[in-house]
Homo-oligomer: A and B are copies of this chain.
Amino acid sequence: MPRKRSYHHGNLRAALIETGLELIAEQGVRALTLRELGKRARVSRMAAYRHFRDRAELLGAIQNAGFEQFADALERACLAAGDDFTARMQALSLAYVRFAREHPAYFEVMLAPPGSRIRDKMSLGRASPVSAPSRFCTRRFAMGSTPVTFAPGVLSCSRARLAIVHGVATLELERLFAAEMSADVFIQDCSGLLLTGLRPAAPSLEPPK
């Protein structure tokens, strides 16, 4: 009987994350309700408590899943772009913005409401994903691929690149670019100026190979 329902032998957790993501995509985080979630997943409204301590931990799990996919997407983009610095930065930036556009539900949970305590609550989950992302991204934008030991100039350039791309991604989600220019075009047009220009003045540009 492994096929009666699809949620009975260990995959309920994954199904809840996926279904939760659907709810968020359709109506925002506020609509992610444990009761509605159970209804959609064809399960009692208490079933989720077998897999998550409470609603916040479920959101933390969704956040985790989002960061994993995000990391994969950036990694793939870097690998595909080859060794050229500019090409890599551009690929990384495009992947960043596209992930935000194609997975707005994930991005919404990943960012979390800046002022709320949800982030703190989320970090109580065991995988402690919360502080990881910014460090993760800073590293990526230092060279575009594997983590590096930071030289001083590299650090602020990395942050500058991250800030630019993050700003573009979030502003696009707020439809700033929708009207006359896509974020993709924007990144392509401006990357020469924005990203290539952002090399540290110091000599140690490249990470030790």
Contacts and interface: CB of A to CB of B under 8 A. Distances in A.
Contacts of A138: 176
Contact of A115 (B24, B155, B171): B24
Interface stretch (A44-52, A83-91, A189-197): A189-197
Interface residues on A, range: 35 or more
Contacts of A24: 115
Contact of A193 (B31, B113, B197): B197
Contacts of A171: 134, 159, 162-163, 166
A197 to B, nearest CB: 6
A105 interface: yes
A170 interface: yes
How many copies of the polypeptide does the oligomer hold? Answer: 2
A104 B115 contact: yes
A189 B108 contact: no
Contacts of A198: 193
Contacts of A167: 162-168, 170
A118 interface: yes
22 contacts: A27-B117, A28-B116, A29-B116, A104-B114, A104-B115, A108-B114, A108-B116, A111-B170, A111-B174, A113-B113, A114-B170, A115-B173, A134-B171, A156-B181, A159-B171, A159-B176, A159-B181, A160-B164, A160-B190, A164-B164, A165-B167, A197-B197
Interface of A: 24-25, 27-31, 104-105, 107-108, 111, 113-119, 131, 134, 138, 155-156, 159-160, 162-168, 170-171, 173-177, 180-181, 186, 189-190, 193-194, 197-198
